[in-house]
Each structure stands twice: as structure tokens, then as C-alpha cells.
């Protein structure tokens, strides 16, 4: 009984409820005529799609900067990479690589400014990150209208200026990772090997990074700044590095997302993109200043599982689509829970 209580306390009641809810959904699926292999396949595809965005949150959580609600800054870098790559006329794998390289350059620039800013506002990062992200999305919306893009697949058809709100990457690099070494079993099951491999490879790199000297120093800054300072670690520099990393990973993450989703979403598209990623990592067990790769994997799987399964089960059973409302309640409830929980680390 005692160990049970400790398990509940450690794992957190909301997380247990969410896990049970997902299991119930999977269990119910065959009985209500939902195609289970297709659902599992969808879940895998969405994990590959969103995994790197969730991963992008780890560095900033570890360095004590909190949940990166300003991930949209990285997303904007990714959008710039993708659109410029298409504008330059690259197709296929080269287009994809070019998009990533360009996005990383922008990610580094944005991350630089963002990191410098967050170092001046220690303790108030989350709210500022949110609104810096929001206002950047809006200033970029103006930019999408007036930047001199010329490619006919991207600009408004009727000779107007400005980019379309959604741009298809079909014919450029749609599904380039999803279809790489794809495993197709039957008609309904598809395993997106390439996307999962890239996610795994990036996770491995992050794992290695956090076992290097600099990674350990970042963790130290996040878990006990006073101790870190006493051991001669430059706190501002570590935080700065983590913000840069997070922004650049976000840029990579959105490009991987786009190749699977098939579209580049401009203008107000990136406004709320940080929130699902934040919810996912918290569902996976992360706190406001501690996150591990296990949290990323479990979180991405649980969150994407719920997102895939809820609409199909509810549609089958109740003939109503409550999935949007459930998604809002689950993800924001999880963020709320993490914000209000007394953290064990230094106050």
C-alpha cells in the first residue's frame, strides 16, 4: 500500500489517469469496430512527426529556463528554411537537406537573441517566452506578406504579393523521411522507419550531449544554480547554449513535421505549436525543471496516442466528435498540474 502511494505520488495522478484512459481506448478499439493496426500506424507516424519538437524542450528545461513556450521562434526558423529551399528550386532529398541547413542558420540567429534576452529575465522566462513567441509570429506574418518570394507554387495565385497560408511540399520533399525504408504490412499498417530513425538518432545525440562536460554543467545549472555557481560554472553561458539548442532543434522539428504533414503552415500557423509539445513532455513525466529522454518518448507516445485514438473511438461509440475539447482539457490540465506542483529542487 505504501509503495503504491509512493508510486502515485511520483508518477502523479493525472499521468496515471491519462495512461489508463489511453489503455482503455486501445482496449475498446476492436469492440467498436475501430481498425487497430491503422490506429497504431497513425500513432507511430505522429510520434515521428512530433518527436523532435518534444525533444527540443529538453535542453531549456534542464538548464532551468522552464517550459519553452517560445518554441514558435524555432518553428519560424524552420518555416524560413523550408520556404527558401523551395524558392531556390531544390527538390527531393537535396531540398530537404537545404531546408534543414538554412533553418539551422536562422535558428542560430533567433536563438542567439532569444538566449540573450532570457538571460536578463531569469525567473520570468515562461510568460516572456510565450509573448515573445506570439509577437514574433505576428511580425513574421507581416514579413510573409511582403518578402519577395517568386515561386508560383508558394505565392497567391491572383498575382498578389505574399505567400499562401499553406504551401504543399508535394513534389518537393513530402514524406521523404516517412517513406524511407518504410515497412508496409497489409493495407493499413505502415511504419515510418525514416522519421523514427531520425528521431532516435537526434535523441541519441542529445543523450550523448548531456553526458559530456557541457551537458552535465547545463543540468547542474538547472537543478541547483547556487551549487553550479560555486563550482565555477558560467550560468548565463549554459542557459544561453540551452536556448540556442532548443531553438535550433525546434527548427529541425518543424521541417520533419512538414515532410510528414505535407504542408508548410505560415502566418498564424506557428502561434500555438509549442503547446502540444509542452503537454506531451509533461505527460511523459517531466517537471518544470527536470526532463529526461524517457519523458520525451513516453510523453510523445501517450499524447499522440490519445490524439489519434480519441476521435475514432468517440465517433464510433457516441457519434460525436469531442476530441478537440478533450485535447484542450488534457493538454492544458497537464501543463497546469506541472506548474502548480511543488518542485523538489531548489525553490
Partner 1 sequence: MSSRLRNFFIDNAVVILFVVLIAIAIPVSGLPGTFLMQEILTRLGRNTFLVIALLLPIMAGMGLNFGMVLGAMAGQLGLIFITDWNIVGIPGLLLAMIISLPISVFLGWLCGSIMNLAKGREMVTGFILAFFMNGLYMMVVLYAMGSLIPIMNPELLLSRGYGIRNVVGLDGVRQSLDTLIPLKIAGLNIPVFSFLIIAAVSYFIIWFRKTKIGQDMRAAGQDRAVSGAAGIPVEQTRILAIIISTVLAGIGQIIFLQNLGTINTTSSHEQIGMFSIAALLIGGASVTKASIPNVIVGVILFHLLFLVSPMAGKNLIGSGMLGEYFRQFVSYGVIALALVLYEWKRVTQENDSRATLRGGGAPAAKEAKGGAA
Q: Which residues make up the interface to partner 1 (CB under 8 A)?
A: 69, 117, 120-124, 126-128, 130-132, 134-135, 138-139, 141-142, 145-146, 160-162, 267, 275, 320, 322, 324-326, 328-329, 332-333, 335-336, 339-340, 342
Q: Tell me, what DSSP letter sits at residue 147?
A: S
Of 1 and 9, CB closest to partner 1: 9
Q: Is 52 exposed, middle or buried (0-12, 13-18, 19+ CB in 10 A)?
A: buried
| Cβ proximity of 55 and 253 under 8 Å | yes
CA 254, 259, 90: angle at the middle one, nearest 5? 100
Smallest gap from Cβ 302 to partner 1, in A, equals: 18
Query: What span, in angstroms and rounded, lies between the C-alpha atoms of 255 and 174?
Result: 10
Smallest gap from Cβ 81 to partner 1, in A, equals: 21
| Cβ proximity of 143 and 163 under 8 Å | no
Q: Is 160 left (phi over 0), alpha (psi -120 to 50) or beta?
A: beta
Smallest gap from Cβ 146 to partner 1, in A, equals: 7
**Helix-then-strand count for the chain, H and E:** 14, 4
Smallest gap from Cβ 342 to partner 1, in A, equals: 8
Of 51 and 74, CB closest to partner 1: 74
Smallest gap from Cβ 322 to partner 1, in A, equals: 7
Of 124 and 171, CB closest to partner 1: 124
Smallest gap from Cβ 275 to partner 1, in A, equals: 8
Q: Determine which helix (DSSP H) or strand (DSSP E) holds 7, and give its type and residue range.
A: helix 2-11
Q: How far is CA 16 from CA 114, 311, 325, 335, in A?
A: 35, 21, 20, 15
Smallest gap from Cβ 78 to partner 1, in A, equals: 20
Of 311 and 333, CB closest to partner 1: 333
Query: What span, in angstroms and rounded, lies between the C-alpha atoms of 136 and 259?
Result: 23
Of 6 and 229, CB closest to partner 1: 229
Of 3 and 340, CB closest to partner 1: 340
CB atoms < 10 A from the CB of 128, how many? 16
Query: What span, in angstroms and rounded, lies between the C-alpha atoms of 162 and 261?
Result: 22
Of 37 and 124, CB closest to partner 1: 124
Amino acid at each position: 500500500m505504501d509503495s503504491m502511494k509512493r508510486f502515485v505520488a511520483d508518477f502523479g495522478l493525472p499521468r496515471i489517469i491519462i495512461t489508463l484512459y489511453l489503455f482503455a481506448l486501445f482496449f475498446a478499439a476492436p469492440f467498436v469496430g475501430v481498425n487497430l493496426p491503422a490506429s497504431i500506424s497513425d500513432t507511430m507516424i505522429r510520434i515521428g512527426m512530433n518527436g523532435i519538437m518534444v525533444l527540443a524542450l529538453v535542453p531549456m528545461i534542464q538548464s532551468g529556463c522552464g517550459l519553452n513556450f517560445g518554441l514558435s521562434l524555432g518553428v519560424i526558423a524552420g518555416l524560413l528554411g523550408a520556404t527558401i529551399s523551395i524558392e531556390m528550386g531544390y527538390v527531393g532529398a537535396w531540398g530537404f537537406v537545404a531546408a534543414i541547413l538554412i533553418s539551422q542558420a536562422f535558428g542560430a540567429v533567433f536563438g542567439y537573441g532569444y538566449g540573450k534576452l532570457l538571460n536578463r529575465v531569469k525567473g520570468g522566462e515562461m510568460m516572456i517566452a510565450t509573448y515573445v513567441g506570439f509577437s514574433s509570429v505576428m511580425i513574421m506574418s507581416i514579413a510573409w506578406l511582403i518578402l519577395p518570394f517568386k515561386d508560383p507554387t508558394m505565392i497567391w495565385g491572383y498575382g498578389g504579393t505574399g505567400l499562401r497560408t499553406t504551401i504543399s511540399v508535394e513534389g518537393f520533399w513530402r514524406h521523404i523521411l516517412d517513406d524511407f525504408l518504410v515497412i508496409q504490412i497489409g493495407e493499413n499498417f505502415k511504419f515510418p522507419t525514416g522519421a523514427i530513425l531520425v528521431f532516435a538518432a537526434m535523441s541519441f545525440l542529445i543523450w550523448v550531449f548531456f553526458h559530456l562536460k557541457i551537458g552535465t554543467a547545463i543540468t547542474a545549472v538547472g537543478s541547483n544554480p547556487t551549487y553550479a555557481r560555486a563550482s565555477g560554472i558560467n550560468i548565463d553561458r549554459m542557459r544561453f547554449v540551452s536556448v540556442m539548442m532548443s531553438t535550433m532543434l525546434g527548427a529541425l522539428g518543424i521541417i520533419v513535421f512538414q515532410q510528414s504533414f505535407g504542408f508548410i503552415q505560415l502566418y498564424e500557423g506557428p502561434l500555438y505549436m509549442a503547446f502540444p509539445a509542452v503537454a506531451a513532455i509533461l505527460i511523459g513525466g517531466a517537471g518544470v525543471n527536470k526532463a529526461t529522454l524517457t519523458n520525451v518518448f513516453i510523453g510523445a507516445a501517450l499524447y499522440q496516442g490519445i490524439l489519434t485514438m480519441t476521435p475514432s473511438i468517440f465517433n464510433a461509440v457516441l457519434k460525436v466528435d469531442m476530441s478537440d475539447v478533450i485535447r484542450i482539457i488534457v493538454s492544458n490540465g497537464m501543463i497546469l498540474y506541472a506548474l502548480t506542483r511543488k518542485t523538489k529542487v531548489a525553490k
